[in-house]
Copies of this chain bind each other. A is one copy, B any other.
């Protein structure tokens, strides 16, 4: 196959981890006889430096033209303590999500048996955890009207959802549940919020179309608790944008494998694959960052965007092999030898 991939490396460790994924994907292409056409484009703080815009139109064109987008990370410390700066890297992220129509963020949390003891949770709490949170990504309070009144002394944000926005996300949730254990949890705050009541009634009305899926409805505060207590009691969860932001991050640390968790954002115009970790500026340029989450994001891309299952499986297999043989970066090395980011990438590419 001929595959066009947009490459958005971004800031911090983004370029380093992306480079390793490129090596692995190129090796897969040789093995399975694909032709990869990579197109790089700037985004994030580095795009602001280059052209004053965290998600330039030219980058958007590259994404639209591609079959899928592989994304590193964005964010730079110089913007961290100034959330009201006129242009910030995160704005690029939000603009990208909206313009590409990436309405569903798919965030799996699973465990690697060899890494389970890295979890802050006790082994018996986390063992067997394998859940997916579907976070709505282009609606809610992230994109509602906001502003100031009373000479700047009152601030407001609006959370708005339409039935269609909920339906398309929920449909993805039901369909995903059908391929897994047929358990779906709708997370909301329907005891307080009108938008949550619309979520709940919309999902309830869809239940009849998926008679095999058993659906539960839980309040976001209760889910924040149970994710720590019994994460393995969950399977597929669907939720709105802000709750999803909090819960996916909470879920990401419980597995002990934060540096390995991939994600996908799917939508109307294309789909985007990225590691869930951030731009980790302290490690930038040091060739020490763990590239596995980005490599596993590329596996998700083969599976979801290109429908190429064997290629996805091959990437996952070589990642498991690197873990088993200890070809890992310092975050996972423990007392053993730590490999460089680039060494891990080279090893993976050679062993696919």
Contacts and interface: CB of A to CB of B under 8 A. Distances in A.
A253 B193 CA distance: 24
A88 to B, nearest CB: 7
User: Copies per complex?
Assistant: 2
B200 A225 contact: no
A213 interface: no
A257 to B, nearest CB: 13
A212 interface: no
Given A146-B193, A197-B84, A162 B158 contact: no
Contacts of A83: 190-191, 196-197, 200
Contacts of A81: 217
Given A224-B247, A228-B253, A197 B120 contact: no
A156 B146 contact: no
A1 interface: no
Contact of A192 (B122, B142, B152, B229): B142
A60 interface: no
A155 B194 contact: yes
Nearest to A140: B157
Interface residues of A, number: 62
Interface in A82-125: 83-84, 88, 90, 94, 120-122, 125
Tell me if A's interface is mostly helix, strand, loop or mixed: helix
Interface in A191-213: 191-198, 200-201
A147 B194 CA distance: 6
A182 interface: no
Interface in A129-163: 141-142, 144, 146-148, 150, 152-163
A283 interface: no
A147 to B, nearest CB: 6
Given A158-B158, A224-B249, 15 more contacts: A83-B200, A90-B192, A120-B121, A120-B122, A121-B121, A141-B159, A142-B192, A147-B194, A156-B195, A157-B195, A221-B249, A224-B224, A228-B228, A228-B250, A229-B253
Interface of A: 81, 83-84, 88, 90, 94, 120-122, 125, 141-142, 144, 146-148, 150, 152-164, 189-198, 200-201, 217, 220-222, 224-225, 227-229, 242-243, 245-250, 252-254
Give the top 3 A-B pairs by smallest Cβ distance, nearest first.
Answer: A83-B190, A155-B198, A221-B249
10 contacts: A90-B192, A120-B121, A152-B198, A155-B161, A157-B193, A158-B158, A220-B245, A222-B249, A224-B224, A224-B247
